[in-house]
Amino acid sequence: MKREVLVIIAVILLLGIVFASTFTDNSQANFNNGTYSNTGWNGSAVVLSSGQTSGTFTSRIFNAGADSTWNNLTEMSSEPNLEILFTVDLSGAVYTSNNSGLNWTQQLASGYTRTTDGQDMFSDNNGNIYILTNTNKEVWKSTDSGATWSVVNKTFSSNNLFAGDSDNNGNLFVAAGTGTGLIFKSSDNGLTWTTQNSSLNLGTSATTKGITSNKTNALFLVSGAGKVF
Question: Which SS3 state, helix, strand or coil, does residue 110 take?
Answer: strand
For the segment 135-147, the average pLDDT, to the nearest whole number, is 88
Range of the domain at 157: 85-223
Confidence at residue 20, expressed as pLDDT on a 0 to 100 scale: 47
| Percentage of the chain lying above the pLDDT 90 cut | 14
At 185, the amino acid letter reads K
How many folded domains does the chain comprise?
Answer: 2
Last residue of a domain, one of 66, 82, 98: 82
| Residue among 185, 37, 208 nearest 124 (CA) | 185
CA-to-CA distance for 113 and 119, rounded, in angstroms? 14
Asked whether residue 229 is domain-assigned, the answer is no
Last residue of a domain, one of 82, 112, 135: 82
Is there a single domain that holds both residue 99 and residue 12? no
Tens-place pLDDT, residues 174-212: 987 666 678 899 999 999 999 887 667 776 666 778 888
Is there a single domain that holds both residue 116 and residue 78? no
Is there a single domain that holds both residue 92 and residue 188? yes
Last residue of a domain, one of 82, 102, 119: 82
Q: How confident is the model at residue 15 (pLDDT cuts 50, 70, 90)?
A: very low
Q: What is the CATH number of the domain that holds 91?
A: 2.120.10.30
**Residue 148: how many other CB atoms lie within 10 Å:** 14
Confidence at residue 14, expressed as pLDDT on a 0 to 100 scale: 45
Is there a single domain that holds both residue 16 and residue 106? no
